[in-house]
Amino acid sequence: KRAALVQAGVWNALDDRFEAFFADYCGTQAADMRAVVATLFSGGTPVAREIGFIHKGHYIAHVGSFDPAYASCAPGTLQIDDTIKACFEEGIHTYDLLAPADDYKRALGTASIPVRDWVLPRTARGVLYCRVAEGLVPCLKRLRDWVDGIAKRWQRRRATAG
């Protein structure tokens, strides 16, 4: 999962606290919430995993990943299907995919709730960072999308030429 997040430009996944939270939480769960780690296997090889939480009859899909070598088999989708089946078997009828509203989540979902990220800086340095990031991040995302578009067009041209 970390490798996929880094490739997508999500650098906070490199922080060891990300993993430490799950290790700590899974070892000391509250009575009204339980962590679930589901693994999808193919011939004894793990190909997809999902960490989620069950709370008051709701399943919250927190983080999932799959082995890119099996990408053509849609292991992430198969993992989600498996988890949804397990939820129904346990009497859980809400499967929350959480934000952001990725395309695959919109395709699977039957409802959505708009969400927004909020940042509350606590220092002058934090205020400066937020102001810079507020303008810079959307520009960098547009640049990334523009470069991706060029790369895809170039790949299509190469595929049709060869």
State pLDDT tens for residues 67-95.
888 989 999 899 999 999 999 999 998 99
pLDDT at site 123: 92
- The answer to which of 51-65, 74-88, 108-122 has the lowest mean pLDDT is 108-122
Percent of the chain with pLDDT over 90: 30
Alpha carbons 111 and 96: distance in angstroms, whole number: 10
- The answer to which of 25-29, 135-139, 141-145 has the lowest mean pLDDT is 25-29
pLDDT of residue 12 exceeding 60: no
pLDDT at site 22: 63
Mean pLDDT of 104-126: 86
The mean predicted confidence, pLDDT, of the chain is 84
Alpha carbons 82 and 98: distance in angstroms, whole number: 18
Could you write out the three-class secondary structure of 106-139? Answer: HHHCCCCCCCCCCCCCCCHHHHHHHHHHHHHHHH
Query: Which amino acid is it at 110?
Result: T
Alpha carbons 41 and 31: distance in angstroms, whole number: 29
Q: Name the DSSP class of 10.
A: -
pLDDT of residue 10 exceeding 80: no
